[in-house]
């Protein structure tokens, strides 16, 4: 459950957070592209979940399956929820929410990797 795609997901989330932080610092409301970036992160997490489930089925590791699946299946809901929450926001608060989401999502990837590493 480690590898280039997990790293890509972490990097993309951190780039989104940095982009949103610039919007917060310059006191600019979020752009449409920044708002849409949350859906890109959600799509990356859907792909990460699909890959994790395939690995779980094919390798049958000795891990807490319910916890692993919970992280995998629920993590895409966070950026989707923040996209919905910020969809009508015209202030910099929406950008600040995206900063938080961009910092939380890499932590989830690391946690998913920790649960997977239990089998190692």
Could you tell me the residue ranges of all domains in the chain?
4-117
Specify the pLDDT at position 2. Answer: 67
Specify the pLDDT at position 90. Answer: 74
Positions of the chain with pLDDT under 50 = none
Specify the pLDDT at position 119. Answer: 63
Residue 36 tokens, joined:
């849409």
Return the C-alpha torsion angle 4, 5, 8, 10, nearest 10: -110
CA dihedral (53, 67, 118, 42) positive or negative: positive
Specify the pLDDT at position 42. Answer: 97
Specify the pLDDT at position 54. Answer: 92
Specify the pLDDT at position 18. Answer: 98
Angstrom distances, CA of residue 65 to CA of 21, 56, 69, 75, 118: 36, 8, 6, 15, 11
Rounded distance, CA 3 to CA 32, Å?
Answer: 31
Specify the pLDDT at position 44. Answer: 97
Angstrom distances, CA of residue 44 to CA of 6, 53, 97: 9, 14, 19
Specify the pLDDT at position 92. Answer: 86
| Predicted structure pTM score | 0.91
């Amino acid at each position: 459950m480690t590898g280039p795609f997990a790293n890509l997901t972490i990097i993309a989330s951190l780039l989104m957070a940095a982009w949103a932080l610039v919007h917060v610092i310059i006191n600019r409301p979020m752009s449409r592209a920044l708002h849409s970036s949350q859906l890109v992160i959600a799509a990356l997490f859907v792909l990460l979940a699909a890959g994790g489930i395939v690995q779980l089925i094919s390798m049958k590791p000795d891990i807490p399956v319910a916890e692993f699946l919970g992280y995998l299946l629920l993590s895409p809901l966070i950026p989707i929820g923040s996209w919905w929450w910020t969809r009508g926001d015209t202030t910099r608060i929406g950008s600040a929410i995206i900063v938080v989401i961009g910092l939380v999502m890499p932590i989830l990837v690391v946690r998913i990797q920790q649960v997977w590493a239990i089998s190692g």
